[in-house]
Amino acid sequence: MQKAIALLKEYDLLRVIDEPLDIDLEIPHVAYIEVKRKDSKALLFTNPVSRRLDKKFDTPVLMNVFGSHKATELFLGKPADDIAAEIESLLKLKPPATLGEKFGMLAKLFALKNVFPKRVSAKGACQEVVVEGDACNLYEIPILKTWPQDGGPFITMGQVYTQSLDGERKNLGMYRLQVYDNRRLGMHWQIHKDSANFFHEYKAAGKKMPVSIAIGGDPLYTWAATAPLPHGVFELLMYGFIKGEPARLVKSITNDLYVPHDADFVIEGFVDPNESAIEGPFGDHTGYYTLEEEYPVLEVSCITRKKEPVYLATVVGKPPLEDKYMGWATERIFLPLLKTTAPELIDYMMPENGVFHNLIIAKMRTLYPGHAKQFMHAFWGVGQMSFVKHAIFVNEDAPDLEEYDDLSDYILDRVQVSNLIISEGVCDALDHASDDYAYGGKLGVDCTADNVFFPQKEIISDAQLLELMQEIDDSIVDIRQYKTYTKTPICVIAIDKKEPVHNLYEKLTAIKAHTKLLVFVDAKKNDLDNPYMLIWRVVNNIDAKRDIFLQKEFIGIDATNKGAIENFPRRWPDDTDCDPEVIERLRKRQIIDVDDAFLKKFYI
């Protein structure tokens, strides 16, 4: 962490805040706003305090460490595309035909020896201070409470190290960890994750499961914890591959797990498979709270740390966030591995306002009719790609995937009912929109062919169209039209919902001559002039099987919040909204300097 801080300072990517700030809401709110700036920097809070605990901490808090493309590449040590090229070259290795090729292959294979973590027998820097048993106290660490409705403080950048019952398979993951008291943590293992699978092995055997949680150290450990490697592959292999040197690990004090020698904190313990507790609510990276659920509990047996540690944390909520840059690195680096399943794939991206798993756009080389639809099923069957809810495929002649304005024109000129697939499958456990937990509808859009030949709609002004709609139904508050020059003009409709949206969609068939794609949102908390946040709202709030309505040349999307009107079987969560009193207090103290337009732009 000290080296990371020095590197960020060297490149003017760090802001140091010496004013005392509370670990509850204040520090997270500052970081939440900072990461949304175009020139976002990491933040080092040197004087964290807790009014709740009546405590001042000696440990500084570092946030937004991956807060820009530049910072992310600094910690990778090289451009992400160069790492992808190295992976691609290994995947394309062929038997050498000449002596020179043999030596070249040997050099590549010899370099791979650095991929595998190295166990060190001596104690690590992470074990300069050791506290065991009843003396352990999680409240000595400046663990943050991010959102007003959070169930308590949460560790958000924990590297969670686990292993299978037989000790053969290792896993590094990143799971949020709720602090229940001074010695207990909630283990938010989602049902599809490797650690959850290990847990079931221990539970079947009636044994407690060892867990060690590292915080800090080389930031690349933290990124590796999020890497979507194939099942059973230890994530620290990616650390060794990228760095060109192995991760150096030391044995935990009270269990048999190995952790990075240079971590700032290590929390060790055991999970009793017979003990669980309510975890949450927690404001998550979807921009919504995930609701209370029962999860396993870690009983802390030991806390070790450096003599002068730094506490690493992140903030999650509405986009853009730090995961924008971490996810960008993942997209670039893992493209070659995705191509092994889909060889005609050229590129893909998950826009941050699509909350990653909620939206993917992929460019492909289309070879035959139905090729894109075949790709959709391949994506929905591959590892973490199986969680993707909405997938749009474009042909190789499409604009660059980051040229959103031109790309959306290209897509909208190719949208028609016959080009859509509505399916169902597993969803991220954080998804709130589907009727069932972690399972729901999926949408695939094939935009690889220019095959839309319907007449252009008769476009009229927003005022004229609103008047026509309000004559049909008085629940319509306002509208805004987008991309009216394309073959699929969009009309976003803000409503004060009084009946199922499908009923309103049917009524509006009367105005189908003037528009093609209706998107319904709640009038409250949505800004019709803010397409960035409208996309965030839509891809979060819909289940394709329930919320997409189809007629020829007329498509409806219900992106409203669901509840009693729809007989929605689950509780709909609230948005992650900052505490307005905390924001105003931070502005008066000049800790943050943003105007009301900035707060409105990102629904802060």
Residue ranges per structural domain of the chain = 2-313, 327-348+358-447
H helix count then E strand count, the chain:
17, 31
pLDDT tens-digit readout, 373-432: 998 988 888 778 889 999 999 999 999 999 999 999 999 999 999 999 999 999 988 999
Give residue 27's pLDDT. Answer: 98
pLDDT band at 439 (very low <50, low <70, confident <90, very high): very high
Q: For CA atoms 101, 102, 104, 108, give the dihedral sign.
A: positive
Q: For the chain, report the end-to-end CA distance as a whole number of angstroms.
A: 30
- Average predicted confidence (pLDDT) for the chain: 94
Q: pLDDT value at position 105?
A: 47
Distance separating alpha carbons of residues 400 and 569, to the nearest angstrom: 41
Q: What is the mean pLDDT of residues 42-69?
A: 98
CATH among 2.30.110.10, 3.10.25.10, 2.40.30.170, 3.40.50.720 for 2-313: 2.30.110.10
Express each pLDDT in 515-531 by its tens digit: 999 999 999 999 999 99
Segment (H or E) for 90? helix 80-91
- In the prediction, which pLDDT does 91 show? 77
More confident residue, 6 or 197: 6
- Mean pLDDT on 127-135: 97
Question: Residue 381's pLDDT is what?
Answer: 81
Give the pLDDT band of residue 441 (cuts 50, 70, 90). very high
For the cut 60, the answer to whether the pLDDT of residue 183 exceeds it is yes
Check residues 507 and 92 and name the one with the higher pLDDT: 507
Structure confidence at residue 99 (pLDDT): 56
* pTM: predicted TM-score of the whole model, two decimal places: 0.94
The two three-digit tokens of residue 379, written as one number: 């994506």
Range 278-295 average pLDDT: 95
- Tell me which CATH homologous superfamily contains domain 327-348+358-447: UbiD C-terminal domain-like (3.40.1670.10)
Residues with Cβ within 8 Å of residue 471, at least 6 apart in sequence: none
The pLDDT score that the predictor gives to residue 512 is: 96
pLDDT at 457: 95
| Spatial contact of 278 and 236, defined as CB atoms under 8 Å apart | no
| Neighbouring C-beta atoms of residue 301, cutoff 10 Å | 20
By residue count, the chain amounts to 604
pLDDT-derived band at 340, boundaries 50, 70, 90: confident
- As given in the structure block, the two tokens for residue 83 are 């790492």
Q: How much is the pLDDT for 231? A: 81
pLDDT at 506 over 50: yes
Q: What is the per-residue pLDDT for 189?
A: 83
CB 389 within 8 A of CB 443: yes
Mean pLDDT over 169-186 rounds to 96
Q: Are 371 and 552 in contact (CB under 8 A)?
A: no
Task: List, by residue number, the catalytic residues.
Answer: 284
Torsion, Cα 305 306 310 316, to 10 degrees, reads -30
Q: What is the 3-state secondary structure (H, E, C) of 261-282?
A: CCCCEEEEEEEEEEEEEEECCE
Q: Which of 247, 245, 171 is nearest to 212 (CA)?
A: 171
Instruction: Answer whether residue 94 shows pLDDT above 70.
Output: no
d(CA 223, CA 83): 14
The percentage of residues in the chain with a pLDDT greater than 90, rounded to a whole number, is: 87
Confidence of residue 97 (pLDDT cuts 50, 70, 90): low
